[in-house]
Amino acid sequence: MLEISGVTRNFGGVHALSGVDLTIDKGGIVGMIGPNGAGKTTLFNCISGVLPVSSGEIRFQGERIDGMRPDEISGRGLVRTFQIARGFPRLTVFESLMLYGTDQPGEGLVQSLLRGKASMEREKQLMDKALGIAERLRLSHVLDNKASDLSGGQKKLLEIGRAMMRDPAMLLLDEPMAGVNPSLVREIGERLVTIAAEGVTIVLIEHQMDLISRLCDHVVVMADGRKMIEGPFDFVAGNKEVQNAYMGTRK
């Protein structure tokens, strides 16, 4: 589903990515782990078009996407979230979800003034979709709250909800549990399992190993801007090279 071939990304003399080769198949939840500075977020930025690659190729569902704009990539079904959920603080939860709906004819000046049948029908579809996503993510009780008034965990759920409004085939989630109250961590994990079961492939950057072991079908370990190893969690966790680079074995 996602093919990354020889991808490099340089910042002056710093090699943030040094020839990443990675293939992610359709289905399930893939965990991406590695020490700080391993290149995980930089790789997400290159995949999603936030940063251009210095060299190499990225293909999504057979189509080359490196060099495309972020909106073009998300329009093809590859959507990402960010570690810090920013959003639009003055919009309500419902308005935030509606903003990310696709194919809105009412966005055009003429349609917005005339309020044609197609525009109203699509708006009704998006309203139903937004309400459904809010219910699945347990945000229904805060639909009228401003995004700025949400808790850290609720902001992360809203970030996921906005991504789901784009009808993604693949979700790239950059530390969705970071800064979240422990009581909401399990709930977010349960929501991710449900989303994956509905056919959305999830790639998840996370530092909490208990979550990776519980949620992920496959784990990719990065270090020094490269893929070090991949496989089931028990396999990578038992690898001495991974322990030395990431988990910190004692001498």
pLDDT digit string, tens, across residues 180-212: 888 788 888 888 999 999 999 999 998 888 889
pLDDT digit string, tens, across residues 43-102: 999 999 999 999 999 999 999 999 999 999 999 999 999 887 777 888 999 999 998 887
Domain ranges for the chain = 2-248
pLDDT digit string, tens, across residues 112-149: 555 567 777 878 888 999 999 999 888 999 999 999 89
Q: What is the pLDDT averaged over residues 21-26? A: 95
Domain 2-248 sits in which CATH superfamily? P-loop containing nucleotide triphosphate hydrolases (3.40.50.300)
DSSP secondary structure of the chain: -EEEEEEEEEETTEEEEEEEEEEE-SSSEEEEE--TTSSHHHHHHHHTTSS--SEEEEEETTEE-TTS-HHHHHHTTEEE--SS----TTSBHHHHHHHT-S--GGGSHHHHHHT-HHHHHHHHHHHHHHHHHHHHTT-GGGTTSBGGGS-HHHHHHHHHHHHHTT--SEEEEE-TTTT--HHHHHHHHHHHHHHHHTT-EEEEE---HHHHHHH-SEEEEEETTEEEEEE-HHHHHT-HHHIIIII----
| Separation of alpha carbons 102 and 22, rounded Å | 29
pLDDT digit string, tens, across residues 118-127: 777 878 888 9
Local confidence band at 108 (pLDDT 50, 70, 90 cut-offs): low
